[in-house]
């Protein structure tokens, strides 16, 4: 009977290690993390009968609603890194007549999909900017807010922000309005949840590692594919009426407002450059309309989308969303810096893989990339 978990993962249920009967029945862990939505985990168990005819692992009602679950991974250097803090949301039993074929799946989500989506009460936020509102909401749940200021366009002279719906739904509205990244991710070492509400952390934030395809002994990718929606990047022009003077104010955003991640920005590659005209903007003021247009142009420039299958044991640590990563071996045009947008971890007793979704807003190598990974397995 296994008493201690393998060296590369551990699970805590209600702040205690997963009990041996459940650990013996555990066959696979699947964790999906992504920017803009709640992270989710699935624990797959194989069940057998005990002497009393009950399923052995289900004899104890361990996974009750909203029981906290923490999953850590310590591949490579051996330092446990917290991948997700979640809460039990669902349990699915598949009973079978075949001995050993019955299964039980525990499904849970982080606070964005559970605690923060649990209570629906209207609330007013008078004279508060959207970033201050997000900071306050994250603080309600004991999270460390990672919030960057957004321009305080909405004051009591213009409008009063009113929350209708759950905290999770309202944060999604604020994130869409400001074109920022919204997600919850634990601080890897301490394990404390951090609430993210900010634009993508593009350079100068350092990359979290180097992913290599067809690169000899340093290869840690099983596959890598990339596609470019070449006509997606677009500038924005429009007109917004000033609510006080009724004068038409031009709104112009010809280029992206974030640093390019490659040599040639996606928006400058299209000649003649496409232009999107916007008149029905929901902004409360011309200044907010300009902000919305700039964010629309910036978001449209993220037209290079990639996916990769990572050998987790060779890469030796989990990848985290919202942090850039370097890719090499994909040719001069498609190697370079990418932003990690989603990660699916699949963990078993003898294997660990990561399916990763990436994006960037430019093509080509700048020459400033440093393809050195100090944490890579020798």
Q: What is the mean pLDDT of the chain?
A: 87
Residue 3, domain member (yes or no): no
Residue 373, domain member (yes or no): no
Residue 378, domain member (yes or no): no
Examine the domain organization and report whether 73 and 194 are in the same domain.
no
Tally of domains in the chain:
4
Examine the domain organization and report whether 69 and 187 are in the same domain.
no
Examine the domain organization and report whether 138 and 64 are in the same domain.
no
Q: N- to C-terminal Cα distance for the chain?
A: 33
Examine the domain organization and report whether 323 and 296 are in the same domain.
no
> Is the pTM for the entire model greater than 0.85?
yes
CB neighbour class for 69 (10 Å; exposed up to 12, middle 13-18, buried from 19): buried
CA 64, CA 61: separation in Å to the nearest integer?
7
- Helix, strand or coil for residue 319? coil
User: What per-residue confidence (pLDDT) applies to 188?
Assistant: 92
Which string of b and e fits 212-242 if b means at least 16 CB within 10 Å? bbeeeeeebbeebebebeeebbbbbbbebee
Biggest distance spanned by C-alpha atoms of the chain:
81
Q: Pick the more confident residue, 202 or 322.
A: 322
User: What per-residue confidence (pLDDT) applies to 280?
Assistant: 58
Q: Residue 126 is part of which domain span?
A: 118-198
> Does the N-terminal peptide bond of residue 204 adopt cis geometry, omega within 30 degrees of 0?
yes
Q: Pick the more confident residue, 11 or 373.
A: 11
User: What per-residue confidence (pLDDT) applies to 155?
Assistant: 61
Examine the domain organization and report whether 98 and 149 are in the same domain.
no
Report the percent of the chain where pLDDT is more than 90: 50
Examine the domain organization and report whether 219 and 342 are in the same domain.
yes
CA 325, CA 309: separation in Å to the nearest integer?
14
- Helix, strand or coil for residue 16? strand
Listed in sequence order, the residues at least 6 apart from 374 whose beta carbon sits closer than 8 Å to its beta carbon are none
Examine the domain organization and report whether 218 and 355 are in the same domain.
yes
Residue 372, domain member (yes or no): no
User: Worst-scoring range by mean pLDDT, 47-56, 211-220, 266-275?
Assistant: 47-56
Across the range 243-262, mean pLDDT stands at: 85
Examine the domain organization and report whether 48 and 157 are in the same domain.
no
Examine the domain organization and report whether 132 and 174 are in the same domain.
yes
Examine the domain organization and report whether 353 and 223 are in the same domain.
yes
Residue 2, domain member (yes or no): no
Residue 162, domain member (yes or no): yes
Tens of pLDDT, residues 233-248: 998 988 887 777 888 8
User: What per-residue confidence (pLDDT) applies to 2?
Assistant: 40
CA 322, CA 295: separation in Å to the nearest integer?
17
User: What per-residue confidence (pLDDT) applies to 363?
Assistant: 94
Examine the domain organization and report whether 129 and 173 are in the same domain.
yes
Which of 53, 86, 109 is the last residue before a domain boundary? 109
Which of 300, 333, 355 is the last residue before a domain boundary? 300
């Amino acid at each position: 009977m296994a008493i201690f978990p393998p060296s590369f993962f551990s699970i805590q249920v209600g702040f205690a290690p997963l009990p041996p009967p459940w650990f013996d029945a555990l066959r696979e862990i699947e964790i999906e993390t992504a920017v803009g939505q709640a992270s989710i985990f699935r624990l797959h168990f194989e069940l057998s009968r005990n002497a009393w005819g009950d399923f052995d692992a289900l004899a104890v009602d361990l996974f009750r609603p909203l029981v906290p679950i923490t999953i850590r991974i310590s591949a490579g250097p051996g330092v446990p890194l917290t991948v997700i803090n979640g809460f039990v949301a669902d349990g699915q039993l598949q009973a079978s007549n075949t001995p050993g074929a019955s299964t039980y799946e525990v499904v849970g989500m982080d606070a964005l999909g559970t605690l923060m989506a649990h209570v629906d009460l209207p609330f007013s936020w008078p004279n508060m900017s959207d970033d201050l509102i997000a900071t306050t909401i994250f603080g309600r749940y004991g999270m460390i807010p990672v919030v960057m200021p957004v321009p305080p366009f909405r004051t009591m002279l213009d409008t009063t922000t009113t929350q209708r719906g759950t905290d999770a739904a309202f944060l999604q509205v604020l994130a869409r309005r400001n074109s920022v990244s919204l997600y919850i991710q634990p601080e890897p070492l301490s394990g404390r949840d951090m609430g993210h509400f900010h634009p993508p952390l593009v350079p100068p934030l350092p990359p979290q590692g180097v992913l290599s395809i067809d690169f000899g002994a340093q290869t840690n990718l099983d596959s890598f594919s990339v596609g470019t929606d070449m006509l997606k990047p677009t500038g924005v022009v429009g007109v917004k009426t000033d609510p006080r003077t009724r004068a038409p104010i031009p709104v112009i955003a010809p280029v992206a407002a974030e640093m390019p991640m490659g040599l040639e920005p996606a928006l400058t590659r299209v000649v003649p450059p496409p232009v999107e005209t916007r008149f029905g903007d929901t902004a409360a003021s011309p200044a907010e309309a300009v902000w919305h247009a700039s964010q629309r142009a910036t978001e449209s420039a993220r037209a290079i989308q990639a996916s990769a299958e990572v050998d987790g044991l060779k890469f030796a640590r989990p990848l985290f969303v919202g942090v850039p990563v370097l890719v090499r071996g994909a040719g001069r045009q498609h190697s370079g810096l990418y932003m990690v947008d989603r990660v699916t971890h699949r963990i078993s007793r003898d294997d660990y893989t990561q399916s990763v979704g990436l994006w960037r807003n430019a093509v080509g190598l700048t020459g400033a990339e440093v393809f050195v990974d100090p944490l890579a397995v020798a």
